[in-house]
Amino acid sequence: MQHFYWSLLGGVLVGCAAGVVLLANGRVAGISGMVSCVLRPRGTDSSWQIVYLLGLIAGGAVLAFLDPAALPVGRVAPMQLMIGAGLLAGFGARLSGGCTSGHGLCGVGRFSGRSTVATITFMTAGALTVWVMSHVLGVF
Protein backbone atom coordinates (compact mmCIF):
# COMPACT_ATOMS: atom_id res chain seq x y z
CA MET A 1 0.00 0.00 0.00
CA GLN A 2 2.94 2.30 0.64
CA HIS A 3 3.82 2.25 -3.07
CA PHE A 4 0.36 3.60 -3.81
CA TYR A 5 1.09 6.68 -1.71
CA TRP A 6 4.44 7.25 -3.44
CA SER A 7 2.65 7.00 -6.81
CA LEU A 8 -0.06 9.36 -5.65
CA LEU A 9 2.50 11.89 -4.40
CA GLY A 10 4.44 11.59 -7.66
CA GLY A 11 1.29 12.15 -9.71
CA VAL A 12 0.36 15.23 -7.70
CA LEU A 13 3.88 16.66 -8.07
CA VAL A 14 3.97 16.01 -11.83
CA GLY A 15 0.51 17.54 -12.23
CA CYS A 16 1.56 20.64 -10.27
CA ALA A 17 4.78 20.92 -12.27
CA ALA A 18 2.83 20.67 -15.55
CA GLY A 19 0.49 23.41 -14.34
CA VAL A 20 3.42 25.66 -13.39
CA VAL A 21 5.05 25.11 -16.80
CA LEU A 22 1.79 26.00 -18.56
CA LEU A 23 1.18 29.08 -16.42
CA ALA A 24 4.79 30.32 -16.41
CA ASN A 25 5.82 29.52 -19.99
CA GLY A 26 2.58 28.96 -21.84
CA ARG A 27 4.02 25.59 -22.92
CA VAL A 28 2.80 22.04 -22.49
CA ALA A 29 4.99 19.83 -20.31
CA GLY A 30 5.29 16.98 -22.80
CA ILE A 31 8.42 14.96 -22.20
CA SER A 32 9.03 13.98 -25.84
CA GLY A 33 8.90 17.65 -26.85
CA MET A 34 11.26 18.62 -24.05
CA VAL A 35 13.77 15.91 -24.92
CA SER A 36 13.57 16.92 -28.58
CA CYS A 37 14.23 20.58 -27.76
CA VAL A 38 17.16 19.71 -25.49
CA LEU A 39 18.74 17.34 -28.04
CA ARG A 40 18.07 19.62 -31.03
CA PRO A 41 17.93 23.23 -29.79
CA ARG A 42 15.99 25.55 -32.07
CA GLY A 43 17.48 28.82 -30.89
CA THR A 44 15.12 29.19 -27.94
CA ASP A 45 16.03 29.02 -24.28
CA SER A 46 15.78 25.39 -23.22
CA SER A 47 17.12 25.81 -19.69
CA TRP A 48 13.69 25.29 -18.11
CA GLN A 49 13.32 22.05 -20.06
CA ILE A 50 16.69 20.81 -18.84
CA VAL A 51 15.71 21.65 -15.25
CA TYR A 52 12.35 19.87 -15.64
CA LEU A 53 13.99 16.72 -17.05
CA LEU A 54 16.66 16.75 -14.33
CA GLY A 55 13.86 17.07 -11.78
CA LEU A 56 12.26 13.88 -13.12
CA ILE A 57 15.56 12.04 -12.73
CA ALA A 58 16.12 13.54 -9.27
CA GLY A 59 12.65 12.41 -8.22
CA GLY A 60 13.50 8.83 -9.13
CA ALA A 61 16.78 9.11 -7.23
CA VAL A 62 14.99 10.42 -4.13
CA LEU A 63 12.47 7.56 -4.31
CA ALA A 64 15.30 5.02 -4.68
CA PHE A 65 16.87 6.48 -1.53
CA LEU A 66 13.67 6.70 0.53
CA ASP A 67 12.08 3.41 -0.54
CA PRO A 68 14.41 1.16 -2.58
CA ALA A 69 11.79 -1.62 -2.71
CA ALA A 70 9.53 0.63 -4.81
CA LEU A 71 11.84 0.27 -7.81
CA PRO A 72 12.57 -3.08 -9.49
CA VAL A 73 16.17 -4.27 -9.41
CA GLY A 74 17.62 -5.77 -12.55
CA ARG A 75 16.09 -6.24 -15.94
CA VAL A 76 12.33 -6.77 -16.08
CA ALA A 77 12.24 -7.89 -19.74
CA PRO A 78 14.72 -9.04 -22.40
CA MET A 79 16.95 -6.21 -23.67
CA GLN A 80 15.81 -6.53 -27.31
CA LEU A 81 12.20 -6.25 -26.15
CA MET A 82 12.96 -3.09 -24.16
CA ILE A 83 14.84 -1.54 -27.10
CA GLY A 84 11.99 -2.37 -29.48
CA ALA A 85 9.45 -0.94 -27.05
CA GLY A 86 11.44 2.27 -26.71
CA LEU A 87 11.70 2.68 -30.48
CA LEU A 88 7.98 2.04 -30.92
CA ALA A 89 7.14 4.52 -28.16
CA GLY A 90 9.31 7.16 -29.82
CA PHE A 91 7.71 6.46 -33.21
CA GLY A 92 4.24 6.68 -31.65
CA ALA A 93 5.07 9.96 -29.93
CA ARG A 94 6.26 11.45 -33.22
CA LEU A 95 3.26 10.04 -35.12
CA SER A 96 0.71 11.41 -32.64
CA GLY A 97 2.37 14.79 -32.25
CA GLY A 98 3.23 14.22 -28.61
CA CYS A 99 3.64 11.66 -25.86
CA THR A 100 1.40 10.41 -23.09
CA SER A 101 2.55 13.13 -20.72
CA GLY A 102 1.79 15.89 -23.21
CA HIS A 103 -1.55 14.53 -24.34
CA GLY A 104 -2.68 12.70 -21.20
CA LEU A 105 -1.54 15.05 -18.49
CA CYS A 106 -1.71 18.41 -20.20
CA GLY A 107 -4.02 18.00 -23.19
CA VAL A 108 -6.84 16.21 -21.42
CA GLY A 109 -6.55 18.71 -18.56
CA ARG A 110 -7.16 21.49 -21.11
CA PHE A 111 -10.17 19.59 -22.57
CA SER A 112 -8.45 18.99 -25.92
CA GLY A 113 -10.47 16.55 -28.02
CA ARG A 114 -7.37 15.54 -29.99
CA SER A 115 -5.49 14.78 -26.80
CA THR A 116 -8.40 12.82 -25.36
CA VAL A 117 -8.53 10.61 -28.46
CA ALA A 118 -4.73 10.19 -28.38
CA THR A 119 -4.78 9.24 -24.69
CA ILE A 120 -7.56 6.69 -25.19
CA THR A 121 -5.54 5.24 -28.08
CA PHE A 122 -2.34 5.10 -25.98
CA MET A 123 -4.08 3.40 -23.07
CA THR A 124 -5.92 0.89 -25.27
CA ALA A 125 -2.77 -0.01 -27.22
CA GLY A 126 -0.81 -0.38 -23.98
CA ALA A 127 -3.41 -2.62 -22.38
CA LEU A 128 -3.64 -4.80 -25.51
CA THR A 129 0.14 -5.05 -25.72
CA VAL A 130 0.43 -6.20 -22.10
CA TRP A 131 -2.37 -8.71 -22.61
CA VAL A 132 -0.77 -10.17 -25.77
CA MET A 133 2.69 -10.25 -24.19
CA SER A 134 1.35 -11.96 -21.05
CA HIS A 135 -1.34 -14.28 -22.34
CA VAL A 136 -0.36 -15.03 -25.93
CA LEU A 137 3.44 -14.83 -25.99
CA GLY A 138 4.05 -15.62 -22.32
CA VAL A 139 6.85 -13.05 -21.98
CA PHE A 140 5.77 -11.85 -18.54
pTM of the model: 0.70
Exposure of 75 in the CB half-sphere (CA atoms within 13 A): 8
Give a three-class secondary structure readout of 8-30: HHHHHHHHHHHHHHHHHHCCCCC
* Contact in structure between 29 and 106 (CB atoms under 8 Å): yes
Question: What residue spans define the domains of the chain?
Answer: 1-73, 76-140
Express each pLDDT in 104-132 by its tens digit: 888 888 888 998 998 898 899 889 988 99
What pLDDT is attached to residue 58?
Answer: 93
Q: Exposure pattern of 15-31 as b/e (b: 16+ CB <10 Å)?
A: eebbeebeeeeebbbbb
Sign of the Cα torsion 8, 14, 17, 23 reads negative
Give the integer Cα–Cα distance in Å for 59 and 70.
Answer: 13
pLDDT in tens, the chain (140 residues): 577 888 888 888 888 888 888 888 888 888 888 888 888 887 777 888 898 899 889 988 998 898 888 777 777 778 888 888 888 888 888 887 888 778 888 888 888 899 899 889 889 988 998 899 889 988 76
What pLDDT is attached to residue 82?
Answer: 84
What pLDDT is attached to residue 1?
Answer: 59
